[in-house]
Amino acid sequence: MASKKNAKARATAHETEQARLRSMTEAADYFHDTHPFHEPGSRADLNYRFTGRLNLIARRYRTRLNERLKSIGQTQARWDALFWISTSGDGVTQSELAERMGIEGPTLVRMLNKLEQEGLVERQATPHDRRAKTILMKPAAEEALASIAKVIAPFRAEILEDIDSDEMRACLSVFERVMARLERE
């Protein structure tokens, strides 16, 4: 009988802990404190914390932005697709686009099917490879990008409102150097 009570008490304690999921920042700090992979205060520790925060910021930004974009039937992923298609000049193949976006081909195909149904993009046969399709933007895509920009601009302003312009320039400088290293092949 006592073991059943202990098991029930453990289950209740577990449920209580699960009911309060830590914020992303709390979780990152907790993990950092309970998994000391690097000497506290070392450059390796600073690198770990910097890249960890960068990753968490990107994920949380995307989630919050998707909440806002939902009001106009858009998503960050659709914006990404239209961005890469619009910057590709003469079009981009599905495989190139999937690689740029960091998503699997089948996921991209579903998205492109919807974008094509909505008249935002078109697929054309690629002259040098009959199996590949080149994705091109249609004029309606510019309107979709403008609608997305109208939602994104106030969201960005809200998130960045109390950050000094000089601090932003310093961050951009760091980001540009990190991106340059990541893009080396």
pLDDT (0 to 100) of residue 35: 86
Task: Give the rounded distance of the alpha carbon of 143 from its chain centre.
Answer: 23
For residue range 87-123, list pLDDT tens digits in order: 988 889 998 999 999 999 899 999 999 999 999 999 9
pLDDT (0 to 100) of residue 8: 63
pLDDT (0 to 100) of residue 149: 95
pLDDT (0 to 100) of residue 130: 77
pLDDT (0 to 100) of residue 17: 56
Residues 123/133, Cβ–Cβ less than 8 Å = yes
List, for the chain, all residue ranges whose pLDDT scores fall below the cut of 50.
none
pLDDT (0 to 100) of residue 91: 84
pLDDT (0 to 100) of residue 110: 93
Residues 140/120, Cβ–Cβ less than 8 Å = yes
pLDDT (0 to 100) of residue 2: 57
Residue 137 has phi, psi (to 5 degrees) of: -80, 145
pLDDT (0 to 100) of residue 29: 85
CA 133, CA 129: separation in Å to the nearest integer? 8
